């Protein structure tokens, strides 16, 4: 096959170049290439954070701050790797989408990666200023949120005291009949911690958004951008919903709240929990894997800004994110639905 095209700025990796082009790895590798390119252009990433009043806003952060070091040819990009500092806190640590290592192999940063189209299905008929991307919080991402917060707050004794207020010591967390009534208390406690320790929030996920036409797959000229979410900001997507949920059965947002609370409290107590055990204990009859889904209407309220409406990276810029001939590595599948779409579109003019 000859030389395999590379991704912008990825010179050292724990994966073969060819493997980075696989269907599973391409979205993450391409997202990293985008961030590396933006770093070279001194273009900051958007950063979604909360303030002490728990209001979300969008500020900026440089790629080098996210990586924990300046990007260089010595930077190592480890995909699907465990972040070493987390191992001391719990068992059952999920792999991170990306761990950054310096020239000596020491971890300098980590992140989860999500790529999403804007507008999503819920906002495709809205004005551009109201569009948003979908965010799916799966169990590994929820665990990463808990790990990130616990790592930041592990020396803050006030945090565990706030979290334990009004929660019975002998609570049976597998029994939704008694857990359900505790949801308002759990949300209040988590809110107080995030309000009191807002300056401790850290980046945990990068969401690369690509803008398309409303009813098709073609990229707009203002094509792509990158949004970083703090660990505290991501919790806003389900904590508010958990408080509002009513009924005799658990909702996804309520279960996510319970799981976040239990993981966080156990790690801050120094109990070194097994995260898998927490998940198994708190199923509440709901399907596993997907913790919560936030559509574009919900995310727009948290991440609306000029660069969500008009992404900073143009379609021309996208052509520089891989080396010469990289488009040949991502030939799309020939699928019936896609073929019918293009045929009907072309014939109808």
Other CB atoms closer than 10 Å to residue 308's CB: what's the count? 24
User: Shortest CA distance to 133 belongs to which of 38, 237, 60?
Assistant: 237
Locate 124 and state its tokens. 């495709």
Tens digit of pLDDT for each residue in 205-225?
Answer: 999 999 987 666 788 999 999
Q: What is the pLDDT, as a whole number, of residue 3?
A: 84
Q: Is the pLDDT of residue 345 over 90?
A: no
Other CB atoms closer than 10 Å to residue 36's CB: what's the count? 21
Q: How confident is the model at residue 1 (pLDDT cuts 50, 70, 90)?
A: very low
Phi, psi (deg, nearest 5) at residue 221? -65, -40
Domain parsing of the chain, residue ranges = 12-348
Rounded CA gap, 63 and 232, in Å? 19
- Locus of tokens 């728990």: 54
The average confidence (pLDDT) of the chain is 93
Tens digit of pLDDT for each residue in 230-258?
Answer: 999 999 999 988 988 877 899 999 999 99
Give the mean pLDDT of 277-283.
Answer: 97
Q: Is the pLDDT of residue 335 over 90?
A: no
Tens digit of pLDDT for each residue in 6-24?
Answer: 999 999 999 999 999 999 9
Q: Is the pLDDT of residue 317 over 70?
A: yes
Give the mean pLDDT of 71-95.
Answer: 95
Q: How confident is the model at residue 342 (pLDDT cuts 50, 70, 90)?
A: confident
Q: What percent of the chain has pLDDT over 70?
A: 98
pTM: 0.94
- 3-state secondary structure labels for all residues of the chain: CCCCCCECCCCEECCCHHHHCCCCCHHHHHHHHHHHHHHHCCCCEEEEEECCCCCEEEEEECHHHHHCCCCCCCCEEEEEECCHHHHCCCECCCCEEEEEECCCCCEEEEEEEEEEEECCCCCCCCCHHHCCCCEEEEHHHHHHHHHHHHHHHCCCHHHHHHHHCCCCCCCCCCCHHHHHHHHHHHHHHHHHHHHHCHHHCCEEEEEEEEEECCCCCCEEEEEEEEEEEEHHHHHHHHHHHHHHCCCCCCCHHHHHHHHHHHHHHHHHCCCCCEHHHHHHHCCCCCCCCEEEEECHHHHHHHHCCHHHHCCCEEHHHHCCCECCCHHHHHCCCCCHHHHHHHHHHHHHC
Q: What is the pLDDT, as a whole number, of residue 215?
A: 65
Give the mean pLDDT of 140-151.
Answer: 98
Locate 257 and state its tokens. 């709240």
Other CB atoms closer than 10 Å to residue 118's CB: what's the count? 24
Q: What is the pLDDT, as a whole number, of residue 213?
A: 76
- CA torsion 55-226-211-219 (nearest 10°) is 180
CA atoms within 13 A on the CB side of 142: 29
Q: How confident is the model at residue 188 (pLDDT cuts 50, 70, 90)?
A: very high
Give the mean pLDDT of 52-81.
Answer: 93
Give the mean pLDDT of 28-45.
Answer: 97
Give the mean pLDDT of 97-111.
Answer: 92
Q: What is the pLDDT, as a whole number, of residue 349?
A: 62
């Amino acid at each position: 096959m000859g030389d395999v095209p590379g991704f912008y700025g990825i010179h050292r990796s724990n994966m073969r170049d060819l493997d980075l082009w696989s269907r599973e790895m391409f979205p993450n590798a391409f997202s990293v290439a985008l961030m590396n390119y933006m770093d070279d252009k001194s273009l900051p990433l958007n950063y979604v954070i909360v303030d002490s009043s728990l209001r979300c806003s969008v500020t900026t952060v440089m790629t080098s701050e996210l990586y924990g070091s300046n990007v260089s040819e010595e930077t190592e990009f480890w995909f699907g790797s465990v972040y070493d500092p987390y191992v001391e806190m719990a068992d059952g640590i999920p792999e991170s989408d990306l761990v950054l290592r310096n020239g000596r192999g020491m971890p300098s940063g980590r992140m989860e990666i999500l790529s999403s189209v804007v507008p999503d299905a819920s906002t495709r008929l809205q004005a551009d200023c109201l569009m948003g991307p979908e965010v799916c919080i799966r169990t590994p991402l929820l665990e990463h949120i808990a790990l990130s917060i616990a790592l930041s707050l592990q020396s803050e004794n006030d945090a565990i005291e706030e979290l334990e207020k009004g929660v019975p010591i002998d609570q049976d967390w597998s029994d939704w009949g008694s857990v359900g009534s505790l949801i308002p208390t759990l949300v209040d406690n988590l809110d107080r911690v995030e309000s009191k320790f807002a300056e401790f929030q850290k980046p945990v996920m990068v969401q690369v958004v690509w803008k398309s036409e409303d009813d098709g797959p073609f990229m707009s000229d203002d094509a792509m951008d990158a949004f970083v979410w703090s660990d505290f900001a991501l919790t806003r997507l389900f904590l508010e919903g958990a408080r509002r949920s009513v009924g005799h059965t658990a909702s996804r947002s309520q279960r996510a709240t319970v799981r976040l609370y239990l993981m966080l409290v156990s790690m801050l107590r120094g109990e070194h929990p097994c995260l898998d055990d927490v998940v198994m204990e708190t199923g509440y009859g709901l399907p596993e894997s997907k913790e919560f889904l936030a559509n574009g209407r919900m995310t727009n309220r948290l991440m609306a800004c000029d660069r969500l409406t008009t992404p900073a990276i143009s379609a021309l810029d996208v052509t520089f994110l891989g080396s010469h001939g990289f488009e040949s590595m991502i030939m799309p599948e020939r699928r019936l639905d896609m073929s019918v779409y293009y045929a009907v579109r072309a014939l109808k003019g």
